Structure 1
Amino acid sequence: MIIYKTDFLSTFKRVDIIVNEIIESLKSIQELNSENTLFMIGFMLRELLNNAVEHGNKNDESKYVFCEIDYDYPYLSFKVEDEGKGVITLKREFDFEDILRERNRGMELILKYGFVVNVDGNKIHAIYELNNNKDRGVSND
C-alpha cells in the first residue's frame, strides 16, 4: 500500500522538508516507534534524495525528484527516481576503512544498516524489513 508519494524540484532545502514530512508521517506506524529505526530511515532518505538532486539532476532546480513509499508489513519500500542518466551499481561489501573516503560513505552505511538497495539507471529501490531483529547499528565486528 502506498503511504507516501511526491515529486519535487531538485533542491537540498526541499529534500530536508520532504524527509521531515515523511518521518513525521511514519511515526504513526506502530512498528516504527523506535527512534533508532526512524533515524536510519531518515538517514537513508536524505542520502538517496540528496544523491538524486546532486548526482542525478546535477543540481538543476528545474528537474524533478520522485519519491514513493510503500508499506506491506513487514516491509517498507522506498523508490526514488530522478531525471538524470543513471548511476553505477553499488559495491556490496562494507569496510570501515572506507568511512574516511570523500564519497559513497552514505550508501555504504545504508547497506550496513540492513537496507536492500537495487539500482536501475536513474531509479533506486531500497527495502527495509521491520521485523528483522538483528542490531542494525554500526559496529566494528
Structure 2
Amino acid sequence: MKVLKTYNSKVLSEKDNICWLVKDIVKFLCDSSDTINEDIIFEIKVILNELLQNAIKHGNKEDARKSVEVNAGITANNYAYFIIEDEGEGYDCGAMCEKKCGPEEMADICNLKENGRGMLIVRSLCDKIRFNKKGNKVIVLKKLK
C-alpha cells in the first residue's frame, strides 16, 4: 500500500489532549484529500475519539507521565490509516475481535456494558482493524469515499 501523506504525533496521556488531537488529524486529512464527505469525517472523529480514550484511560491508566503515539496517513488507493499505541500493558483483544458486530448487535448497543462498547462502534465504522500481540497498539483502515 503506497502512502501519500503522513501525520505523526506523540501526546501525554491527558484527556484534554484528545479533542485538539482529533481536530488536528481531521484537519490533516481534509487538507490532504478533497474527497472526504461529512459522513466520513464524522465517522473518523468517532473512531479517533474512541481509540484515544481507550489508550489514555485503559492503556495508560490516565498516567500523565506516559504518552500515546499517533500515526495517520492517506494511501494511494484512498484509505486513511490510524496507528495508535499506548505505553500500557495491553489487553486481550481476541475476545473483542470475536464479538459479532452486525446490525442486530449494533441495534442493541445501548444494552451493552460500557467496557468494549467503544471498540464495537469502532469496528462497525472502519474497514479493517488489527492489534499487535501485546494489545497496546491498534491499526485501523478507513475508506475515504
* TM-score normalised to structure 1 length: 0.85
Query: Does the Cα contact within 8 Å between 1:71 and 1:77 map onto a contact in 2?
Result: yes
Q: Which residue of 1 aligns with 2:64?
A: 61
Q: Which residue of 1 aligns with 2:144?
A: 130
Q: Which residue of 2 aligns with 1:10?
A: 13
Which of 37, 46, 50 is equivalent to 1:43?
Answer: 46
Moved over 4 A (4+): none
CA distance in 2, matches of 1:113, 1:45: 11
Which of 89, 100, 104 is equivalent to 1:93?
Answer: 100
Q: Which of structures 1 and 2 has the larger relative contact order (alpha carbons within 8 angstroms, sep 6+)?
A: 2
Counting helix residues as a fraction of each chain, which structure ranks higher? 2
Unaligned runs of 5+ in 1: 132-141
One-letter amino acid matched to 1:48: L
Unaligned runs of 5+ in 2: none
CA distance in 1, matches of 2:110, 2:92: 19
Q: Which residue of 2 aligns with 1:137?
A: none
CA distance in 2, matches of 1:64, 1:112: 27
The Cα offsets for residues 46-83 of structure 1, whole Å up to 9 and x where unpaired, read as 11011000010000000000000121132211100000
Larger mean CA deviation between 115-124 and 88-97 belongs to 88-97
Aligned length: 130
One-letter amino acid matched to 2:129: V
Q: Which residue of 2 aligns with 1:135?
A: none
